[in-house]
């Protein structure tokens, strides 16, 4: 875990955007061997566009694609 935060200067506050927090959580999960599944809790077709955000976050975090 410390290696993921090693780029933060000691004694400096850590401010992350929501996108950065999601990416950081995904990196921790990947490092722990957690399997990630993307799904949708959309309540209408217009909300399905958020799946692109989830897929992008996994790409940024380096989560490998398994299956199809």
3-state SS assignment for residue 4: coil
Radius of gyration in angstroms for the set of CA atoms belonging to the chain, rounded to a whole number: 14
The pTM is what? 0.61
Give the angle 64-21-7 at the CA atoms, nearest 5°. Answer: 85
The pLDDT tens digits of the residues spanning 3-52 come to 455 555 666 656 667 777 788 888 888 899 988 888 878 888 888 888 88
Residue in 18, 17, 10, 26 with CA at minimum distance from that of residue 64? 26
Answer whether 31's CB lies under 8 Å from 4's CB.
yes
For residue 60, which phi and psi values (nearest 5 degrees)?
-60, -40
């Amino acid at each position: 875990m410390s290696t993921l935060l090693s780029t933060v200067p000691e004694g400096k506050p850590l401010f992350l955007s929501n996108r950065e927090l999601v990416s950081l959580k995904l990196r921790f999960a990947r490092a722990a061997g957690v399997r990630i599944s993307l799904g949708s809790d959309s309540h209408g077709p217009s909300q399905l566009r958020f799946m692109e955000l989830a897929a992008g976050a996994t790409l940024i975090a380096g989560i490998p694609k398994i299956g199809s």
